[in-house]
Amino acid sequence: MMDRAAAFTLLCEFTQSESLRRHGMAVETCLIAYARHFGEEEAPWALTGLLHDFDWEIHPQLPDHPRKGQAILAERGVDEVVRRAILSHAGFEDVPRLTRLEHALFACDELTGFLTAVSYVKPSRSIHEVDVLGVRKKMKDKAFARAVNRDDIVNGAAELGVALDEHIGFCLRAMQADAARLGIQGSAGAGKESACTTDSYEGILRKDLRSSTDSLGGFGRFAGRATGSSCVRCPGRN
């Protein structure tokens, strides 16, 4: 399995936009949380989230994204399970979503972007000011974040077998716990961190902390912080 540092380097190689890097990191955060909840192996779920849109800048249209990115991922040694999950999130008829990982990626993709957008319109630009009720209200406002497909958010939760409000709350709590790394801490943490890499998955998944994921409503102490890292962009870049 590719390690996290190598995956982040790959993301940076093909993605220059820091906001798009952060989107990959946000989906990574939510998929790690769900992997823990479902008792799945965390590394492939994390890789899937981090790399799912790695080729968007070079292949900005379907079906090139993510089909053409598959060859790059295979050449770099990314596992087939991860590659198929990434391919499945585009909704191609020949690649139906079959596994829990594939359903989870689809469920978290649009939602993480929407949660980030909601956080940016808060007074302090902080996700800590966001709640489920506010998200549901914003979903009804078609003029807000109009590029985000609301049907994908609703259908994604249904595919995953989770009530929509529970799904929103679960991802919201995961992203709130990882807010500084994702750039959505708000005015209190503005400028303190950027899209940093880590040496390993444990840089995000602090081993000394335990998430209370006995139920979707009980998500608690997910530790999404980059430890031992001070990079601003990505490895090897100034």
d(Cα 105, Cα 101) in Å, to the nearest integer? Answer: 6
Residues 169-187 have a mean pLDDT of 96
- pLDDT mean across residues, the chain: 83
Residue 94 banded pLDDT, cuts 50, 70, 90: confident
**Residues 60-71: pLDDT tens digits?**
888 888 999 999
Q: Which residue has the higher pLDDT, 223 or 40?
A: 40
Write out the two tokens for 81: 């399970």
- pLDDT tens, position by position, 10-20: 999 999 999 99
Taking the CB of residue 9, how many other CB atoms lie within 10 A of it? 17
Tell me what pLDDT residue 114 has: 97
Q: What band does 93 get if pLDDT is binned at 50, 70 and 90?
A: confident
| Mean predicted confidence (pLDDT) in 85-103 | 91
- Tokens (6 digits) for 43: 């590394």
Percent of the chain scored above 70 by pLDDT? 79
Q: Are the C-beta atoms of 137 and 129 separated by less than 8 Å?
A: no
Residue 62 confidence (pLDDT): 82
Name residue, tokens 């549901």: 136
The CATH code belonging to domain 4-218 is: 1.10.3210
Domain locations in the chain? 4-218
On the question of pLDDT at 209 being above 70, the answer is no
Give yes or no for residue 189 having a pLDDT over 50.
Answer: no
Task: State yes or no: pLDDT of 165 exceeds 90.
Answer: yes
Return the residue matching tokens 């590659």: 83
pLDDT score for 64: 85
Residue identified by tokens 């008792």 is: 39
Lowest-confidence pick of 22-36, 143-157, 206-220:
206-220
> According to the model, what pLDDT value does residue 95 have?
85
In the predicted model, what is the mean pLDDT of residues 201-209? 37
Q: What are the backbone angles phi and psi of residue 205, rounded to the nearest 5°?
A: -95, 75
* CA–centroid distance for 102 within its chain: 13
Class of residue 238 by CB neighbours under 10 A (exposed 0-12, middle 13-18, buried 19+): exposed
H/E element, 28: helix 18-38
The per-residue pLDDT for 80 is 96
When pLDDT is averaged across residues 187-209 and rounded to a whole number, the result is 42
With cut-offs at 50, 70 and 90, classify the pLDDT of residue 188. Answer: low
pLDDT surpasses 80 at 177: yes
